[in-house]
Amino acid sequence: MEIRKRIQVLLLLAVITDVAAAQGTVVTGIIKDNRDVPIVGATACQVNTSNCTAADMNGIFHLLLEPGRDMSLKVECLGFNPVEVVIDESTLFPLKINLTPIYIPDELFLDDSFSDRGNKIIMRSSLTMDAVFSDFEEFTPALGSHNTDLMRYFAVIGPELGASFSGVYFGLGIGMGYSYQDDLDTISVDLNNTLYRFTLGYDLINSGRIRITPHLSARWLRYRLLNYPGDRKISLTRYLDERDIDLRFNQTIAVAGLNMEYLMYSGMQGRGDYWSFGIAGGYAVKLNRNPWVWSRGNRVMTDNSIGLNPLTFSLTVSYYNIVR
């Protein structure tokens, strides 16, 4: 009796399976636009048939596919690019279908959440202005106030090239400072600044318009101070009293900060490549207590140190290119 009951149950399950197969597959899905807003009234049709249905006010639809026909859906709505979906054994329900507006080409389309950037490499080219506030007061007795007063701040501008992957950003940059020259009564002063920068950051927020990136950077600051007599001819005594100066100060610092950018698009929002304007602030600390000083190939020893205001800021204009 027990064996007979098991056989009856198996036959009953087989009959139910055959009936379900004969009736076809029920497809359930939700249709939304590029802003993740449900599209009311979008139609979903079985390809090469008149078997169609429409999405409700929540963008949800249900469709019983006719057996023995093409197992594909064509989803369309006026004003949007149509989408075709193939249904097979690996298809997961409910289907999530996004339609893009006709005025945004598919190959350039990115939704406002930028969710597909995580798997792409994003190249960044930027022009950056850095400002670091320094203090050479300890060098005043040796160099004179007419020299050290010029070195109270460090401002440079230059390019940075970088890349982001899965939200992690790294970049290399160089900055060239102004060349300040001043003719005093007895000497001429020429000051040049240079900066080398390595930056590592993470995109905490990267939406359609705002990008916020905490970052950590290492910077190599180089000051060159050049003094030379203003006269073509100078006596030996005067030369020994005033001395020619050609000093190159090297100071490394680390900066922990926050970069905030406003994203701008050429034409319409949704393009893969875009511009940004940003401002960054940070807290700086010295990595070497005393600067490394060189003069025409000679290592100059000193116990004096460069003072450093811990607050720094930067301005950037950047262009981002998404690598396909």
Interval 171-197: pLDDT, tens: 999 998 866 666 665 566 677 889 999
End-to-end CA distance of the chain: 66
pLDDT band at 15 (very low <50, low <70, confident <90, very high): very low
- Tell me what percent of the residues of the chain surpass a pLDDT of 90: 44
| Domain ranges within the chain, ordered by starting residue | 2-103, 115-323
What pLDDT score does 276 carry?
A: 92
CA distance linking residue 71 with residue 1, whole number of Å: 43
Interval 90-127: pLDDT, tens: 888 899 999 988 865 544 444 444 444 556 788 999 99
**C-alpha torsion sign, points 111, 112, 113, 117:** positive
Structure tokens at 296: 């025409």
As a whole number, the mean pLDDT across the chain is 81
Give the domain 115-323 fold. Porin (2.40.160)
pLDDT over threshold 60, residue 311: yes
pLDDT over threshold 70, residue 240: no
What pLDDT score does 16 carry?
A: 40
pLDDT over threshold 70, residue 23: no
pLDDT over threshold 60, residue 272: no
The architecture (CATH level 2) of 2-103 comes to Sandwich (2.60)
- Tell me what percent of the residues of the chain surpass a pLDDT of 70: 76
DSSP letter at 204 equals S
What pLDDT score does 20 carry?
A: 42
pLDDT band at 310 (very low <50, low <70, confident <90, very high): very high
CA distance linking residue 316 with residue 261, whole number of Å: 8
CA distance linking residue 253 with residue 37, whole number of Å: 48
Strand partners of residue 321? 123
**pTM metric for this prediction:** 0.60
What backbone phi and psi angles, to 5 degrees, belong to 61? -135, 155
What pLDDT score does 14 carry?
A: 47
What pLDDT score does 233 carry?
A: 65
What pLDDT score does 209 carry?
A: 82
Please give the average per-residue pLDDT across 262-273, as a whole number.
62
